[in-house]
Structure 1
């Protein structure tokens, strides 16, 4: 297995979670990585105190790690709280309250990719109404990202694990990317291509790469089955990343997989 020319970062919301948040950048650096990404780490607080944000920024800087991807607020992940964009109410308000906070923090640490999860379907509410609110909120997110020179990412999840999430295919996510770009005129919204989620949906991964590489702003990987490190499943991840490179993708690839039973620090032997 060869992964030549790929630029890997570590998702500190799924790896090194046995450590406190502020200890994880240093652990990633000790494992050989100088780039990391995060889901919104304060799952109950879209707008934490500045001292809390400063603490994470200091931890990143002290470790010599760069934050290359950050989720906007989406509640507790993994879990059911992915309805930040689905219906008017508290979750949508938290999402909107987080936009400038997350964008400003991203700018302060040089992060230029902000991921907005679409939100779960809510029973009893017209899907068209939910989609209209999602588009409006995502357009607001795209403007917040643009203000700090960042890209807004739209991600497809997988139907078996997220049955209420509407974007469970690459074409569905790309359609939203195009709608947001049309609504804002900014052209700063891109596809987050997660090979694990797309494989769980049964998509032809090579076809997705060849078709959507020009609209891809970030890549995430885990093997399937099991969502473990490359080599623990059957996905041809090295071949797919090579195909992405040949299609022109030169961005980061996030390692978003479950740690080894021996712990997060032992989860990178496949790279060596």
Structure 2
């Protein structure tokens, strides 16, 4: 894919997946990317070994790729879990154990965007109980992120692919970020504007950009329909990126799509 004049980051959890994880940063660099983002690379372990963390850190630095986005532990992605921080019991505990690990790893690489997926609704449990737990855990994450100069990102998914996920509009995600900021006073909870998920949900992307570019800490893109590369669907990536820039967004755009061949270029 030709790279337009925007700050683009390759999502190494969806791109270059024909390669082992530690070989993907170098492949991204060869394809012209200087920055990358990742879902949490160890979905079964919120606290991987120091050697595993060191190996990934070396792979990123040796390739000359900057890590600009990283998910907190969120269960299996893609999959049914869709986050852990609002789930009582074991998953919430795993999220809390992961917070300092993510903050230390991100801080060591200068990564400033940490995505905290909210978590699905649990049948039979009062949503207010989950929301209170989510706020508690997001405050914990925001404070840890602040210590390393990072922001916590709150993402809206879509109700088609994630019917039990409560944040499926830009308004809902921004409202949660605002509550976190009010609770911490730090101002480092930001909106993760995923244009693919918003498109699946039927949002007016131009209107979302115009309204929320100023509170967006990170943007992600895949074409719609299909979650493919730019040009594979109906979204005009160049126009959307230009509108973001015109609305004052100067941050990274994560290319979170599935390439037809698994490769980019």
Give TM-score scaled by structure 1 length. Answer: 0.95
| CA distance in 1: counterparts of 2:24 and 2:146, whole angstroms | 28
Partner residue of 1:251? Answer: 251
CA contact (8 A) 2:154 2:176 kept: yes
SS class of match (1:67): strand
**Displaced runs of 4 or more, over 4 A:** 1-4
Partner residue of 1:197? Answer: 197
Partner residue of 1:76? Answer: 76
After superposition, the C-alpha distances for 1:110-132 in whole angstroms (9 at most, x for unaligned) are 11110100000000100010111
1:228-247 paired onto structure 2 within 5 Å: 228-247=228-247
Residue ranges of structure 2 left out of the alignment (5+ in a row): none
Partner residue of 2:116? Answer: 116
| CA distance in 2: counterparts of 1:88 and 1:225, whole angstroms | 34
After superposition, the C-alpha distances for 1:151-183 in whole angstroms (9 at most, x for unaligned) are 110000011000010000000001001000001
CA contact (8 A) 1:3 1:238 kept: no
Partner residue of 1:144? Answer: 144
Asked if 1:86 corresponds to 2:49, the answer is no
Give TM-score scaled by structure 2 length. Answer: 0.97
| CA distance in 2: counterparts of 1:92 and 1:43, whole angstroms | 14
| CA distance in 1: counterparts of 2:240 and 2:83, whole angstroms | 31
Partner residue of 1:7? Answer: 7
| CA distance in 2: counterparts of 1:219 and 1:37, whole angstroms | 11
| CA distance in 2: counterparts of 1:106 and 1:167, whole angstroms | 25
| CA distance in 1: counterparts of 2:44 and 2:179, whole angstroms | 30
| CA distance in 1: counterparts of 2:142 and 2:100, whole angstroms | 11
Deviation at 1:50, TM superposition (A): 0.7
In terms of mean alpha carbon deviation, does 74-83 or 36-45 score higher? 74-83
Deviation at 1:3, TM superposition (A): 7.1
Deviation at 1:86, TM superposition (A): 2.4
Partner residue of 1:263? Answer: 262
| CA distance in 2: counterparts of 1:185 and 1:154, whole angstroms | 17
Residue ranges of structure 1 left out of the alignment (5+ in a row): none
Superposition RMSD on alpha carbons, in Å?
1.3
What is the count of residue pairs matched by the alignment?
265
CA contact (8 A) 2:40 2:73 kept: yes
Deviation at 1:82, TM superposition (A): 2.3
